[in-house]
Structure 1
Amino acid sequence: MEKFPEILNHFSIDSKSKDAQTIKKTIELCEESEVKHKEKKTCVTSLESMVDFGLSVLGTNNILAITSEVQGETQASQRYTIEQVQQISDGDNMVCHKLNYAYALHYCHVGGSTRTYMVSMVGVDGTKVKAVSVCHKDTSFWNAHAIPFVVLKVKPGTMPICHFLQDDQIVFVPI
């Protein structure tokens, strides 16, 4: 954050603009300390840094990188039928989320034991999706006011929380 004005100046971004606020939030996320002992995180600007961090936190040189895939382009919200569920891994994984910034930037983190699945689905319009799903087995250290707990009306640590990854997110699993 100490170089925030320099960053805005470098990219010719008005400090009062929506883009400036987005960049500020991204920097705050990247600089936020690891408050929970079960989470390791970093922000990376290259594929090489992403892989290096994954190798170090997963403790192996044998990793698989997977992402959700959508066959065709659909903007419509629709119902999907699950055709197949395949477990990819059981244990730690690392997920990298694309961030809004002036250049390519990803937030990568390992947050406790998970099960990772590839779920094949087909939409009512015929769109085929292979979606990565991550199930967090230990949610005891999560914020009790996080959206999953509010929506599901459960408390942290009482049950696994599963979610799909968007197609701009990457999960790395040991193989």
Structure 2
Amino acid sequence: MDVKLPLCSLLTLLAVINGNGLNKMDMRIEQVHSASPHMHHHMDPTLVVFFFQEDLKVGNTIPIHFPSRDLNSVSARLLPKEEADSIPFSSHQLDHLLDLYSFPRGSPQATAMEDTLRQCETKPVKGETKTCPTSWDSMLDFATSILGSSNEIRVLATTHITRASGVLQKYTITGIEEYPASKVVACHTMPYPYVVFYCHYQESQSRVFRVSLTGENGDRVEAVAVCHMDTSQWSPNHVSFKVLGVEPGFSPVCHFFPADNFVVVP
């Protein structure tokens, strides 16, 4: 298997992942962000990454929040598959897990662990296949089970050309490249004592783009964006619909990925 991600990008991705700990409460799946000119001025800036497909044009300017990651923070680490597989990963084992990591019940860390386990155990929506790999190898196993083991796979992640400022600002689109992928696996990092991925595949069509962006303050980002072409099976309460002011199935919904989330394509 050949993971088509430049070594420097892979190391950066893993470094960012390893710098994302339990205090990063904005990494819940329902907080995937938003970016739309239609958003309300009082909206939580961490929700700014959703946008409409028609917004994706060179020269267009849209507000986006790319969270900055403290790569030097002491937090979650990526475990080898053997070690990760030896640790229970179940809400039924929560009390044991809290004792294992010495987290008091009701603490922010305990709440984050419980929330991650709950989301990982929630049934997928119609047409969705999901899992929560607890190691890089397990993530690759899931991705190849969807994309086909005979395929070379490519891991695409957002990269910051300049140091991320972490501020909500307007970005101008300076370039767009589409990856012609028939299937897409998206993975999001979750708050947990060690790195856990929330990975899912939706049977409905998705389009994957790499978008070159320049911020008002000079920030330059090569961002991964995914447009979901059919949202008719999504929950009406999904945050994207609140941000964009639309209903399920109304139009494609697109969103940018923060630096420690990624997509896997053939």
TM-score bracket relative to the smaller structure? over 0.9
Matched, 1:173 2:265: yes
Deviations 1:83-125 (A, max 9, x none): 1011013432011100000111111001232000000011122
Deviations 1:6-64 (A, max 9, x none): 00000001012121111001111111222x23100111111111111000012352221
Amino acid corresponding to residue 141 of structure 2 in structure 1: D
Flag the structure with more relative contact order, 1 or 2, with Cα contacts below 8 A and sequence separation at least 6. 2
Residue 100 of structure 1 is matched in structure 2 by: 191
Larger deviation, residues 83-92 vs 44-53: 83-92
Structure 1 segment 144-159 matched on structure 2, within 5 A: 144-159=236-251
Residue 180 of structure 2 is matched in structure 1 by: 89
Determine helix, strand or coil for the equivalent of 1:108: strand
Report which of the two has the higher share of helix.
2
Percent of aligned pairs with the same amino acid: 36
Count the aligned residue pairs. Answer: 173
Quote the Cα distance in structure 1 between the aligned partners of 2:145 and 2:201.
11
TM-score, normalization: structure 2? Answer: 0.62
The Cα shift of 1:127 comes to 1.4
Determine helix, strand or coil for the equivalent of 1:125: coil
Residue 80 of structure 1 is matched in structure 2 by: 171
State which of 96, 100, 103 in structure 2 corresponds to 1:6. Answer: 96
Larger deviation, residues 150-159 vs 47-56: 150-159
Deviations 1:105-164 (A, max 9, x none): 111001232000000011122211000010001111001121222222222112110110
Q: Can you give the 5+ residue segments of structure 2 that lack an aligned partner in the other structure? A: 1-90
Quote the Cα distance in structure 2 between the aligned partners of 1:157 and 1:108.
22
Residue 58 of structure 1 is matched in structure 2 by: 147
C-alpha RMSD of the superposition: 1.3
Quote the Cα distance in structure 2 between the aligned partners of 1:2 and 1:70.
39
TM-score, normalization: structure 1? Answer: 0.93
Amino acid corresponding to residue 142 of structure 2 in structure 1: F
Q: Can you give the 5+ residue segments of structure 1 that lack an aligned partner in the other structure? A: none
CA pair 160-126 structure 1, distance change in 2 beyond 3 A: same
State which of 206, 210, 217 in structure 2 corresponds to 1:118. Answer: 210
